[in-house]
Amino acid sequence: MKRILITGAAGFLGSHLCDRFIKEGYYVIGMDNLITGRMSNLEHLMKLSNFEFYHHDVSKFIHIPGDLDFILHFASPASPIDYLKIPIQTLKVGSLGIHNCLGLAKAKKARVLIASTSEVYGDPSVHPQPESYWGNVNPVGPRGVYDEAKRFQEAMTMAYHTYHGVETRIVRIFNTYGPRMRLNDGRVLPAFIGQALRGEDLTVFGDGSQTRSFCYVDDLVEGIYRLLHSDYTDPVNIGNPSEISISQFAEEIISLTGTDQKVIYKDLPVDDPKQRKPDITLAQKVLNWKPRISRKEGLEITYSYFKTLTKEELYQKDHMNFDKYIKL
């Protein structure tokens, strides 16, 4: 049985990856420090004999007994309001965390896949963004802690690949959505759906003309699965090129949820990218991958999930386990 370590296992993407690798017959070791992740995302796996969980911060030395074939590094706060609250952890998990993962991979002769991001392109001046674009990132802006950690992570991963011969893969993930997102993580989709469910007005930041391209989680997981098993070591974009402005997106959520709330406009956050859309030519070529689930279909599944939340969860202001786990 192949053994895989997934960091950030209790998070949105991490937990979906655990599900996929369990389904494929792997022995899955999940790791998370539970600052932004939640055990409820993994509860259904805890009883399985081919799943185990370590409550551990990957910024610290990682010890895993036994063999390892693969490591997926997905631990990181990933929403702008999260990494504004914990900027130093965000930098540490991207830098010290990947160093530990790469060291572990070298020791175990495991293949590593790292979660990079469309944020490496910053506020892009090239549209759509191909992997060859180097980006437009403000290192000292509020998003710099995330963007630069991820850029460092790519550089470190390449260095371990070229200098130590570690097998590495890099996925650049664009906006992804689906069940298990935290309702109050600040991302636009859970924010709008939460507002609709609570009967509040939908908050569009800026004039709403900025664009994003949303990928359903199952499509992303399929792309990651294919990339891990490919022999391609340069970064690959995985995302859905179907682009939409944020104000149009608010309208879509209003018709999806049938709410009669209106849209209100708030200030645009600093360094908020004006446009974002993946060029997926490379993924199509090297992985024979493209997204299959339309936004309409994906939004319906996601809305059904959010509708199952309890009233308490719907009104909870913050799901982050700050006080319990944060020691800077």
State which residue, 79 or 257, has the beta carbon closest to ligand UDP: 79
Q: How far is the CB of 305 from ligand UDP (least distance, A)?
A: 17
The DSSP letter of residue 278 is B
Q: How far is the CB of 202 from ligand UDP (least distance, A)?
A: 7
State which residue, 133 or 205, has the beta carbon closest to ligand UDP: 205
Q: Can residue 175 be called a binding residue for ligand UDP (CB under 6 A)?
A: yes
Q: Can residue 212 be called a binding residue for ligand UDP (CB under 6 A)?
A: yes
Let me know if 43 is exposed, middle or buried by CB neighbors in 10 A (0-12, 13-18, 19+): exposed
Q: Can residue 142 be called a binding residue for ligand UDP (CB under 6 A)?
A: no
Give the tokens for residue 41.
């995302």
Give the tokens for residue 209.
């003309």
The interface mask with ligand UDP, positions 79-98, x = CB under 6 A, is: xx------------------
Q: How far is the CB of 131 from ligand UDP (least distance, A)?
A: 18
The rounded distance, in Å, linking the Cα atoms of 261 and 300 is 19
Q: Can residue 149 be called a binding residue for ligand UDP (CB under 6 A)?
A: no
State which residue, 103 or 142, has the beta carbon closest to ligand UDP: 142
Judged by CB under 6 A, the number of residues near ligand UDP is: 15
**Helix spans in the chain (H):** 12-23, 80-85, 87-108, 144-164, 188-198, 217-228, 246-257, 281-287, 295-307, 311-315, 322-325
In the range 180-209, which residues lie near ligand UDP by CB under 6 A?
186-188, 191, 203-205
Of these, 269, 305, 321, 325, which contacts ligand UDP (CB under 6 A)?
Answer: 269
Residue whose C-alpha is closest to residue 112's, from 184, 58, 60, 148: 58
In the range 279-318, which residues lie near ligand UDP by CB under 6 A?
none
State which residue, 31 or 181, has the beta carbon closest to ligand UDP: 181
State which residue, 152 or 205, has the beta carbon closest to ligand UDP: 205
The rounded distance, in Å, linking the Cα atoms of 141 and 154 is 20
Report the residue count for the chain. 328
Q: Which residues of 247-257 are buried (b: 16+ CB within 10 A; e: fewer)?
A: bebbeebbebb
Which candidate in 146, 160, 177, 216 is catalytic?
146
Is 146 a known active-site residue? yes
Q: How far is the CB of 311 from ligand UDP (least distance, A)?
A: 21
The rounded distance, in Å, linking the Cα atoms of 146 and 79 is 9
Of these, 176, 210, 237, 302, which contacts ligand UDP (CB under 6 A)?
Answer: 210
Give the tokens for residue 68.
């390892």
Amino acid symbol at 89: Q
The rounded distance, in Å, linking the Cα atoms of 148 and 92 is 11
State which residue, 230 or 247, has the beta carbon closest to ligand UDP: 247
Please give the positions annotated as active site. 146
Q: Which residues make up the interface to ligand UDP (CB under 6 A)?
A: 79-80, 175, 186-188, 191, 203-205, 210, 212, 246, 269, 272
